[in-house]
Amino acid sequence: MIKKNYKPRVFIILIIFSILFFTILTRLYLIQIHRKDFFKILAEQQYKVELKINPPRAKIYDSIGKVALTINREVDSTFILPNQFEEPKKIRSFFKKYFKKIYKKIKRDKNKKIKFLWLERRLSKEKLEWFKNFKLNDIHFLKEPARFYPFPASSTILGFTDIDNFGLAGIEMQFNSRLSGTPTTLELKKDARSGKFYFEKKIKEKGKKGQPVFLTIDRKLQFLAYEELKKTVDKFEAKSGSVLIIDPDSGKILTMANYPDFDPNKKEIEQIENTKNRIITECYELGSVMKTFSALAALEEEVVTPEEEIDCEGKKTYIDKFKIENWKSVGVVPFTDVVRLSSNVGIAKIAKRLGPKLYTHLRRLGFGNKTNIQFPGERSGFVNPPHKWSRPSLLVLSFGYELMGTILQLGKAFCIISNDGYDVCPQLITKPKKFRSTFRKKIYKDKTIKQIKKILQTIGNNYKQNLEGFRVMGKTGTARSVKNGKYSKKHHVYFFGGIVEKGPYKRVIVTSVNEPKGAHWWASQITAPLFNQVAQRMVIHDLTQLGLSASKDF
């Protein structure tokens, strides 16, 4: 029997297994040590998605500081992870039928660069159920914060945010960084066995909470004024309207109502024009309401007295070869009646005595200057300076033309009168006590303020229905609108600037209605009654808030 030698075979097998062993060992070294970062990244691409989640947006409060004008609530959104489809045919068929844009986008992504896509956000209950009924494993759901506005009457002040809660208008835009804070970075991971997603407890980068904003707005008064404004605009089928209420002593804006406005809770804004806070962002030629300040300047410069007789020359006359018309025939009357009867001829004659000083006073009152209120889109307006005047410039400037002003500027100017000649800085944001200035600059003499208040009271007495016991002062204004570069005879904008006082209680109200239907209206028929209606509701509201009685406590 021949004895077989197995040693060569064993040696060969040993060599083969050794080669396999070292091959596997080398492979493991390459995978686990040398190329570990590559495979780690590859695994993370397959099972991890990084998301930035914004903290709940800080709230905006009214003047009381306890009632939030904005609310945060959680909404459902749905997303997909194109690189991790479990049922690619099924999900692509779904996209092809219902989401063609996403289907085409994924189809074009041949290099698979798209890792995350929102499918639809801020789902309604019905839409959420619709998605869930398909029972597709590749459609995932997530709760995220969304903004809600419970007081629509304040929409043009508050503004709105986009779908990512980024402020796009109003206070939301002005204080976006303060309200939004900074986002938290989270990792969304997939369980390889269950195929479900969860938020990892470990936060990659912690964000910061936003800080709230406190407004000077009285939300109840805002609603009351908005109601009256809406009634008036609808009644006269006007293009738009506004109501401004200010506490002249502090400069705090209590109400800024605009109509038509918009619903900030809708996904889409139908008319972007209606998102504007016209009180701040729109300029107008202000018409006869500016006679108030022409008279104020004349009294301050002592070029006229309230009792001086002024010849208003009937219905029309020529001054410096420029025709000026009164809205009705006015003869020789005291200067007080020039303002009360709103005579263009009478106020133009007094403006001639003032000369360029009229421009100086209008700028001193704030026309042509921004108030620097903390709100986006504020307009500075314009007052035609003396070096650009033509022959009629001084004359028409005295009754509200060749200047453009905002309703806020008009309100500020009336506040100076109400505030005994002290300058006023309108404010919309409540300032901490340590930042409140007690310095007040007096820019008009007491004698002048008493004279102009007495003149304005002769007008205000006509519009103090149900305001017995209160001192009501004011002035109407009607201005022609410009259409196609020319003054229109059919389109007008109407104003009323008014003051309501009793003891320490002071309020300035400015009402405006833009282009009501019909060509033969006067401010005394539109904005003056609106002033009276707003003032009535304001007084009742304010006295109720203070726990006072109109008849006993003043």
When pLDDT is cut at 50, 70 and 90, the band that residue 444 belongs to is very high
Among 34-38, 264-268, 275-279, the range with the most confident prediction by mean pLDDT is 275-279
CB neighbours of 509 closer than 8 A, spacing ≥ 6? 243, 244, 245, 496, 497, 498, 499, 500, 531, 534, 535, 538
**Which of 178-182, 266-270, 295-299 has the lowest average pLDDT?**
266-270
Q: Mean pLDDT across the chain, nearest whole number?
A: 88
The pLDDT tens digits of the residues spanning 516-537 come to 998 789 999 999 999 999 999 9
pLDDT greater than 70 at residue 50: no
Distance CA 46, CA 115 (A): 9
Long-range pairs for 49-52 at CB < 8 Å and ≥24 separation? 49/81, 49/115, 49/116, 49/187, 49/188, 49/189, 50/185, 50/186, 50/187, 50/188, 50/204, 51/116, 51/185, 51/186, 51/187, 51/188, 52/183, 52/184, 52/185, 52/186
Asked if the domains at 48-70+149-215 and 219-263+277-546 fall in one CATH topology, the answer is: no
Distance CA 507, CA 498 (A): 8
Strand residues in 172-308 grouped as ranges (E) = 184-190, 197-199, 213-214, 240-247, 252-259
Tokens of 297: 């300047």
Distance CA 472, CA 476 (A): 13
The DSSP secondary-structure symbol of 429 reads B
The pLDDT tens digits of the residues spanning 207-256 come to 788 999 999 999 999 999 999 999 999 999 999 999 999 999 999 999 99
Tokens of 57: 């947006």
Question: Can you tell me the mean pLDDT for 486-503?
Answer: 93
Distance CA 328, CA 316 (A): 9
The pLDDT tens digits of the residues spanning 385-439 come to 999 999 999 999 999 999 999 999 999 999 999 999 999 999 999 977 655 566 7
When pLDDT is cut at 50, 70 and 90, the band that residue 199 belongs to is very low
When computed from its CA atoms, the radius of gyration of the chain, rounded to whole angstroms, is 35
Domain boundary assignment for the chain: 48-70+149-215, 75-146, 219-263+277-546
Question: Can you tell me the mean pLDDT for 112-136?
Answer: 87
When pLDDT is cut at 50, 70 and 90, the band that residue 71 belongs to is very high
Kindly report the pTM of this predicted structure. Answer: 0.84
* 48-70+149-215 fold: Penicillin-binding protein 2a (Domain 2) (3.90.1310)
Question: Can you tell me the mean pLDDT for 25-51?
Answer: 63
When pLDDT is cut at 50, 70 and 90, the band that residue 143 belongs to is confident
* 219-263+277-546 fold: Beta-lactamase (3.40.710)
Question: Can you tell me the mean pLDDT for 452-467?
Answer: 95
Question: Can you tell me the mean pLDDT for 269-283?
Answer: 93
